[in-house]
Amino acid sequence: MYFLKRILFMGPLLVLISFLAFVMVRVAPGGPFDRERKPASPEIERNLRAKYHLDEPVLRQYLRYVDGIVHGDFGASLKYRNRSVADIIAQGLPVSLSLGAMAFCFAMGTGIPLGFFTAVHKGAWGDYLGSFMALFVICIPGLVIGPVLIMLFAIHWRWFPVALWGSPWHAILPTLTLGLYFTGRVARLMHEGMLATLPSEFITTARAKGLGEMAVLIRHAFPIAILPVVSYSGPMLADLLTGSFVVENLFQIPGLGVFMVNSSLNRDYTLVAGLVLLYAALLLVLNLAVDFLFSALDPRVRYD
Amino acid sequence: MIRSENLGPNQQAWRRFRRNRPAAAAAMLLGFVVLVVLLWPLFSQPGLAPRLPAALTHPPDAISDAQFLPPGPAHWFGTDVHGRDLLSRVCHGARISLLVGLVGAAVSLIIGVLWGATAGYCGGRWDSVMMRFVDVLYAMPSIIFVIVLITSLNAFLGKMEAAGLSAGGAQWLQFAGLFAGLGAVSWLTMARIVRGQVLTLRHQAFVDASRVLGASHARILLRHILPNVYGVILVYLTLTIPSIILYESFLSYLGLGIQPPQASLGSLIASGAEQINSVRIYWWLIVYPGATLALTLLALNFVGDGLRDAWDLRSGKRA
């Protein structure tokens, strides 16, 4: 029932979000044509604005925009004027999706075992080393890792290509650059979750029943201990899938992250609204999945 | 645990913190960084400069012909594209980065904990409304928010300057806008995490017990529930300070963060990243500001972890 309501609310929520994004960018000072060569005459400028309906009231523009979406038209980009918003997304999304998915798998695949291991061996040297590594990768931004990886592996040793997107070889350095930070965060959340779960009474009960240590840790502690990671994975995945400006810019990858930044810098209203809608839809679905997983994993959580 | 002395819980916690070697070492390192960063401008004062090694006394924005000098005795961290001494620029940048991180995290902490705890504790309809609001904000890429906020503010400042606002005043306003923007977009995760924790706690027996005993809602929330969430809040705060410093470095990469001639660690790294080419590797432009950033954030995190262990109400005693 609760989840049905959430799904029904999604539609209005998306309308609200797109409205906020549209109005926010539209009301902010500056316009999409500011950085271009000044039009030859005021008439041309007026015609340009009229062509894209920028001379109408904001609400009217928004309704026109929504009307377009209902008919499957996300509008034309105001900056990249020969391309529609749908074109830009159709070209960038597959790239950002695959890079993001790889970084997500990398972060989960390394972060969860690391956090689990360090929590189980609390106080041993393996814990100190592992926890230090988890912290260390959080503390180095992609802005540093990326250039260092490029300088070492691409320029100095020439093992990997410097930039661009194509073969699996091209994907390795960007995946590391994007994923390492999240490895650290996942590992820390997992570590924290395990430490919070292990003193619980149901763990003592499980041990008292004579279960082996591995069964206690994996079957009983793990599903509860992973909750913070599950909770974090929704927004993390949405962030990763819609592209990262730094990584795409450093490695010259044609993803969506660059458009996300440039569209809001350029006040490219239709592109901003389209990208925000995409991000929002993705995030809402993922958050719903996370909450669903939450109640499935922890019977103590009740949504009522 | 036998308590022979009459120490308050906080005094005991500080005592535990000091016994935690890595945390205490990190706190000293952090103190050292802060001290160097604060005292740095004094080194180039005329009274002190002749008694110090010349490498310590370069002003951060003195342009020279010595471009891209590798690290050496005259310039310990080398020089950048304009021949400026990198060591002094790193010290200068670290000061700004720390300031941004602290103020931004404080803003996000206050908003996030209040919001999340209230939503989780009230539950039901209030929880729905408050968390849907967070969902709405969450569901917008924060970068769009920040970019629109900061570019609007810059346009506004431009007008103010034209109308006669002093450059110094404009710079402070810009800092304030950056703090507000960074804090305002980073409280959402804190609110969600606190709310999730409170949600699992509010149906537990000890909460029901104190409710039956007639405790007020504020008392239950502040005395019984929030202390159980401190560990998570503290750990998350230690993650927030670095993430705000990182966010600022990202904004600097876009050219929207700290504006030249001011520098943050992020803007130094960003300008180092611009110099990457396949002919010559100017590694020091990335490595020194990057290492300073990583070291500072590591120290902050270790201190946070130590504080968590010292104040942690869970470890050993609750079970």
Q: What is the pLDDT of residues B253-300, one digit of tens each?
A: 888 877 777 888 888 888 888 887 777 778 888 889 999 999 988 888
Task: Return the half-sphere exposure (C-beta side, CA atoms, 13 A cut-off) of residue A72.
Answer: 0
Out of B144, B189, B278, closest to residue A162 by CB = B278
pLDDT tens digit sequence for B178-228: 887 788 778 888 888 888 888 888 888 888 888 888 888 888 888 888 877
Other Cβ atoms less than 10 A from the Cβ of A15: the count is: 14
Structure tokens at A219: 């079957």
Q: Is the dihedral of CA A224, A229, A232, A234 positive or negative?
A: negative
Query: Longest C-alpha distance within chain A, in Å?
Result: 86
Chain A contact for B269 (CB, 8 A cutoff): yes
Contact (Cβ atoms closer than 8 angstroms) between residue B303 and residue B27: yes
pLDDT tens digit sequence for B118-161: 898 888 898 988 988 887 787 778 888 888 888 887 778 777 77
The reported pLDDT for the residue numbered A101 is 92
d(C-alpha B248, C-alpha B272), whole Å: 16
Mean pLDDT of A108-126: 92
ipTM of the complex: 0.78
Out of B151, B189, B318, closest to residue A235 by CB = B189
Partners of residue A146 in chain B, C-beta under 8 Å:
273
Alpha-carbon gap: A198 to the closest alpha carbon of chain B (Å): 9
Q: How many Å is the Cα radius of gyration of chain B? A: 24
Contact (Cβ atoms closer than 8 angstroms) between residue A168 and residue B274: no
**pLDDT-wise least confident of A16-20, A35-39, A128-132:** A35-39
Out of A143, A162, A300, closest to residue B249 by CB = A143
**Residue A84 bridge partners (DSSP):** A76
pLDDT tens digit sequence for B8-33: 656 777 788 788 888 888 889 888 98
Query: Which residue in B317, B305, B295, B302 sits closest to B91, CA to CA?
Result: B295
Mean pLDDT of B63-74: 79
Q: Is A302 helix (H, G, I), strand (E, B) or coil?
A: coil
Amino acid residing at A86: A
Partners of residue A249 in chain B, C-beta under 8 Å:
253
**Residue B85 bridge partners (DSSP):** B79
Alpha-carbon gap: B52 to the closest alpha carbon of chain A (Å): 31
Cis peptide before B261 (omega within 30 of 0): yes
Partners of residue A231 in chain B, C-beta under 8 Å:
192-193, 196
pTM of the model: 0.79
Please classify residue A136 by burial: count the beta carbons closer than 10 Å to its beta carbon, then call 0-12 exposed, 13-18 middle and 19+ buried: middle
